[in-house]
Structure formats: structure tokens, C-alpha cells
């Protein structure tokens, strides 16, 4: 068996020379104990999510940023509210803007800020914005660090809905 490509040491000197563009650019000081380092590396090796829980201010967010920084991985943060639905983490679709563009395309075509080109009402992707979860799933060349913060504030159905997505992320279609 090959050694894992990514190993967290809790030491930023191991940061690779080439990093994902969405990797944190500023060092997040964090010193993890050996058990936490082992848990992070086990999650990386198994390619499974790692659930970190603890009191407010204990360093959960700092750990996520430190892992992403040291390994040069993309970091996405999803802050959960009581009204948050899993769908929002995957993507949001702006049907109103698309309808507007259909009606005004002959007068003044609107510009897609991502591409700098006119939006095409026949192209649904011009009206889709990936959420943090969707971006993490789209990160094919690098595994992603996704921080889902304040999940305890979510609706009672949210954890089960999220679990059904995390179990089979390759079944995510738009």
C-alpha cells in the first residue's frame, strides 16, 4: 500500500510549495496533540469526514484552517443558521436573474462576473452559484477541508439530510 499523499503534522513548515487557490494564505497558529493529529490523519487516510466538537472558543475552526494551510488544501466554511437547508450548501440557482436576462437579452445583455462574458439564458450554469459543500465536492485534484460551523443551530432534519449527501457525494447532480 502506498503512503498517504497528505499527512498533517501540526507544523506549518510542511506546507507544500504549490497549493490550491482556495487554500488559506495566512498561517493559523495551532498546536495539536498527538491524538488529534492521529484523528486528522485517519480521516484523511479513510477519506471520511471528521467531526470535531467542543466548547465555543476551543479551537475547532483554527484546527480546520491549520489543516488546510499546512496541507495546501482548499478551505470552505459553511456557517449554519436555524433556517439553513442542505440545498444551500450545495448550490443556489438564481431563477429570477435568468428570467430577467431572458426578457432583456436583446436590449442589454447582462455580464457573468465569473467569466466577464454575457450571460446566456439558455445556459443554466450561468445562474448557478456553488455553496461551500458544492465547492468541496467539485474539488477533484485536491481533497477539501470543509468547516460546517454551528451545526447544532440547524433544524432537526438537517443532520440526516446532510448525512445522506455526505454518504454518496458522487451522486450530487444539478
Q: Tens of pLDDT along 44-75?
A: 999 888 889 888 899 999 999 999 999 999 99
Confidence of residue 140 (pLDDT cuts 50, 70, 90): confident
- In degrees to the nearest 10, what's the CA dihedral of 18, 23, 28, 32? -80
The whole-model pTM stands at 0.85
Residue 61: what pLDDT?
Answer: 95
What does the pLDDT look like over 10-52, one tens digit per residue? 999 999 999 999 999 999 889 999 999 999 999 999 988 888 9
Domain ranges across the chain:
1-73
Distance set, CA 88 to CA 62, 107, 138, 169 (Å): 24, 32, 15, 15
Amino acid at each position: 500500500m502506498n503512503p498517504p499523499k497528505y499527512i498533517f503534522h501540526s507544523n506549518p513548515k510542511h506546507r507544500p510549495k504549490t497549493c490550491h487557490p482556495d487554500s488559506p494564505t495566512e498561517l493559523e497558529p495551532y498546536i495539536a496533540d498527538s491524538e488529534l493529529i492521529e484523528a486528522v490523519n485517519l480521516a484523511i487516510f479513510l477519506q471520511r469526514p471528521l467531526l470535531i466538537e467542543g466548547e465555543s472558543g476551543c479551537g475547532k475552526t483554527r484546527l480546520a484552517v491549520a489543516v488546510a494551510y499546512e496541507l495546501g488544501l482548499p478551505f470552505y466554511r459553511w456557517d449554519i443558521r436555524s433556517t439553513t437547508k442542505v440545498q444551500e450548501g450545495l448550490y443556489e440557482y438564481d431563477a429570477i436573474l435568468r428570467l430577467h436576462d431572458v426578457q432583456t437579452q436583446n436590449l442589454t445583455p447582462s455580464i457573468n462576473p465569473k467569466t466577464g462574458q454575457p450571460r446566456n439564458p439558455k445556459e443554466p450554469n450561468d445562474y448557478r452559484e456553488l455553496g461551500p459543500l458544492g465547492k468541496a465536492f467539485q474539488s477533484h485534484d485536491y481533497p477539501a477541508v470543509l468547516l460546517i460551523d454551528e451545526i447544532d443551530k440547524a433544524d432537526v432534519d438537517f443532520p440526516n439530510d446532510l448525512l445522506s449527501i455526505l454518504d454518496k457525494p458522487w451522486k450530487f447532480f444539478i
